[in-house]
Amino acid sequence: MALRTPVLPAFAAALAVCLTASPPAAAAEPVAVLSATRSALAVTVYQGGFALVRDTRRAGLPAGASTLTYTDLIAGLDPATLDLAASDAQVGDIAWQPATLSAEALIRRALGGPVQVIDWSDDNATRRPGTLVAITDSYLVRFADGSVEAVDFSQLVFPTLPADLTTETLALAGVTAPAAGMRDLTLS
């Protein structure tokens, strides 16, 4: 994992879009590779603001194909530099999945769906169910009685977080192990 500072925001956004991919097709069983299983961490710092990080974690792999899911990755990681070494396992593609949750993404996903509107009166909060029907300078919500009201974003409550909006950046890697067992996995 390489750290780069500073990176132009537009370039970083374009790079993240280019490298965003779904998990490798051959992967059958998901395996979370957690930072709590870290057995070694090495950092080499270079001139010019670059660093190479080698993060070794242990995980139990099933026999056959699986998808490794790495969380707790460092900020500033350059996804184009990711490399994985897995003892006694064949490594396939590595995909980069940036966090997708933002207020804008959440409101776009909620359009046409159920929301709750918080009304404050005399320091008491009440929630009224409605449907988000339009996004203009404010947010338009239709209620059960047919009325439509313009509300502030701060008044909206969303009943669920859509599964495709993630709060965490992930690295996904396809691996194939000849037999089930614990393995050292080094993400660089």
Please identify, in words, the CATH class of the domain defined by 103-157.
mainly beta
Return the H-helix or E-strand segment holding 106: helix 103-110
On whether the CB atoms of residues 91 and 82 are closer than 8 A, the answer is: no
- Residue 187 tokens, joined: 């993400």
Per-residue pLDDT, 7: 36
The string of pLDDT tens digits covering residues 24-36 is 444 357 898 988 9
Q: Strand (E) positions, 62-113?
A: 64-70, 84-86, 90-97
Question: What's the pLDDT at 19?
Answer: 41
Q: pLDDT for 77-96, tens place per residue?
A: 888 889 999 988 999 999 88
Reported as a single tens digit per residue, the pLDDT across 40-69 is 999 999 998 888 999 999 999 999 999 998
Domain ranges of the chain: 2-98+172-178, 103-157
Please tell me the predicted confidence (pLDDT) of residue 28. 52
Give the mean model confidence (pLDDT) for residues 158-168. Answer: 85
